[in-house]
Amino acid sequence: MPGKSISCQSSVEGKNHVEVTKDTLDTPALCMDLDAMEANIQKMVQACHGNNIRWRPHSKCHKSAAIGQKLIEAGALGITCAKLGEAEVLAAGGIEDLLIANLIVGPTKMQRLASLCRIARPIVCIDHIDQAIPMSEVMAAEGQVVRVIFEVDIGLARVGVQPGEPLLELAALVAPLPGLEVVGIMGYEGHLLTIPDLEEKKVKIGQALDVLVDCANSMKAAGFCCDIVSCGGTGSYAFSCSHPGITEIQAGGAIMMDQFYRNQCNVQDLENALTVLATVVSRPAPDRAIIDAGRKTFHADSEPAVVVGRDDIQVVQLSAEHGALHLDPSAQDLKIGDRLEVIPGYSDMTTVLHDQFYGFRGDQLEVIWPLEGRGRLQ
């Protein structure tokens, strides 16, 4: 069944989960520190509840129905998805409240969306009438109603209707269409995540979100429903979750953390939960070692990967299947067969390289979660 955690006994070479540790698990392997992940989840829930807003975390970082269910059990309202295919996977795993934070275009996808509405309650984004009309036609023909929100460009310059009159004009065209129910707006302040000065970052994110909230107020004044005002990624959650007028945030990568969020977005209050377990397979020189994890195993382009607990070992180069390490003098006793854990540079681009998460409580394997949404790009 999609979303079901796999029994460790049946999934790790027939071993009982009591026998599987980080010393015996084959490598490379994508590992989740369950204690750290659960601490991050609780921090996000508390941040949202403390500001009287909802949390609809993004699944693009984990693509797992089992993890999605865990987040809802902890207090998340629902789950945000990057693609229709991800939403289908999560719905098959029993999750109904789904925001597809992307634009859906084409007759095949419209039919799939109508089918999704039979088993879930999706919300989809619109920023142009040419997306809305064919969606309405299919929904009406299939006897379905889908919730829609307008994506507003608040400065990212990627997608989104422009604030002000263009938004209200689009809302006036979409609201009467059969099969569509307007419920709100969303925007993303992603262009502001890496501002190094925290005060400047706070001010500029506040200005961008003011635009979004002004749009919500204009929608309501014009008689349109705007119950949802959604924004906020992990790199900006500390500011977006407390901004007046925001009703929910989408920060999902917060449950794992990585070097990008910590070093470039200056997020310091979350724990590193995601690592790649690797084995030293070669020692070609006193100051060099090679691990069995390269570009096909973890992402280190946005920010260099870091070896856990070893400041004297640096990841210096990645090829397809190999990772080259520089060893300081204090690390030159590293041997072939030794195990290392590596924090990836960017978690979203690492998880999609793997079929499953290995969830550890301390050194003990507790659960295996499949990434059912991996490869669901359509």
Total structural domains within the chain = 2
Structure tokens at 369: 């979660």
Say whether both 20 and 70 belong to one domain. no
Q: Is residue 376 part of a domain?
A: no
Q: Is residue 22 part of a domain?
A: yes
Hunting for tokens 């909230």 — which residue is that? Answer: 213
> Does the structure show a pLDDT above 90 at 18?
no
Q: 260, 293, 325 — which closes off a domain? A: 260
Q: Is residue 167 part of a domain?
A: yes
Per DSSP, 84 falls in state H
Which contacts of 4-7 are long-range, i.e. CB under 8 A and separated by 24 or more positions?
4/66, 4/93, 5/66, 5/367, 5/368, 5/369, 6/356, 6/367, 6/368, 6/369, 6/370, 7/368
Which of these, 183, 232, 233, 192, lies nearest to 212 by C-alpha position? 232
Identify the pLDDT of residue 300. 86
Say whether both 244 and 311 belong to one domain. no
Which of these, 198, 274, 185, lies nearest to 236 by C-alpha position? 198
Q: Check if the beta carbon of residue 123 is closer than 8 Å to that of residue 99.
A: yes
Least confident piece of the model among 10-14, 86-90, 115-119: 10-14
Q: Is residue 1 part of a domain?
A: no
Say whether both 85 and 173 belong to one domain. yes
Q: Check if the beta carbon of residue 280 is closer than 8 Å to that of residue 289.
A: yes
Say whether both 285 and 325 belong to one domain. yes
Say whether both 291 and 342 belong to one domain. yes
Q: Is residue 2 part of a domain?
A: no
Q: Is residue 43 part of a domain?
A: yes
C-beta atoms surrounding 355 within 10 Å:
11
Say whether both 240 and 285 belong to one domain. no
Identify the pLDDT of residue 47. 97
Say whether both 138 and 113 belong to one domain. yes
For every residue of 253-265, DSSP letters joined together read GGGT--HIIIIIS
Residues 207-234 have pLDDT tens digits of: 999 999 999 999 999 999 999 999 999 9
Which of these, 278, 309, 355, lies nearest to 22 by C-alpha position? 278
Identify the pLDDT of residue 3. 47
- CATH of residue 199's domain is 3.20.20.10
Say whether both 129 and 239 belong to one domain. yes
Identify the pLDDT of residue 7. 42
Identify the pLDDT of residue 291. 98
Residue 53 CA to residue 359 CA, distance in Å, equals: 29
361 lies in which domain range?
A: 8-32+269-370
Residue 293 CA to residue 284 CA, distance in Å, equals: 16
Q: Is residue 247 part of a domain?
A: yes
Residues 319-375 have pLDDT tens digits of: 999 999 999 999 999 999 999 999 999 999 999 999 999 999 999 999 999 999 999
Say whether both 240 and 94 belong to one domain. yes
pTM for the complete prediction?
A: 0.94
| SS3 category, 50 | helix
Residues 176-186 have pLDDT tens digits of: 999 999 999 99
Residue 46 CA to residue 352 CA, distance in Å, equals: 28
Which of these, 88, 5, 36, 25, lies nearest to 274 by C-alpha position? 36
Residue 309, classified by CB atoms within 10 Å of its CB into exposed (0-12), middle (13-18) or buried (19+), is exposed
Q: Is residue 364 part of a domain?
A: yes
Average pLDDT over every residue of 300-310: 93
Average pLDDT over every residue of 103-121: 98
Say whether both 249 and 358 belong to one domain. no
Residue 291 pairs in a beta bridge with 280, 323
Identify the pLDDT of residue 8. 46
Q: 231, 260, 289 — which closes off a domain? A: 260
Query: 3-state SS of 287-314?
Result: CEEEECCCCCCCCCCCCCCEECCCCCEE
Which of these, 133, 94, 138, 114, lies nearest to 2 by C-alpha position? 94
Residue 134 CA to residue 106 CA, distance in Å, equals: 8
Average pLDDT over every residue of 239-248: 97
Residue 300 pairs in a beta bridge with none
- CATH of residue 350's domain is 2.40.37.20
Phi, psi values for residue 339, rounded to 5°: -105, 140
Residue 245 CA to residue 23 CA, distance in Å, equals: 49
Q: 241, 260, 279 — which closes off a domain? A: 260
Say whether both 334 and 187 belong to one domain. no
Say whether both 315 and 362 belong to one domain. yes
Average pLDDT over every residue of 45-61: 97
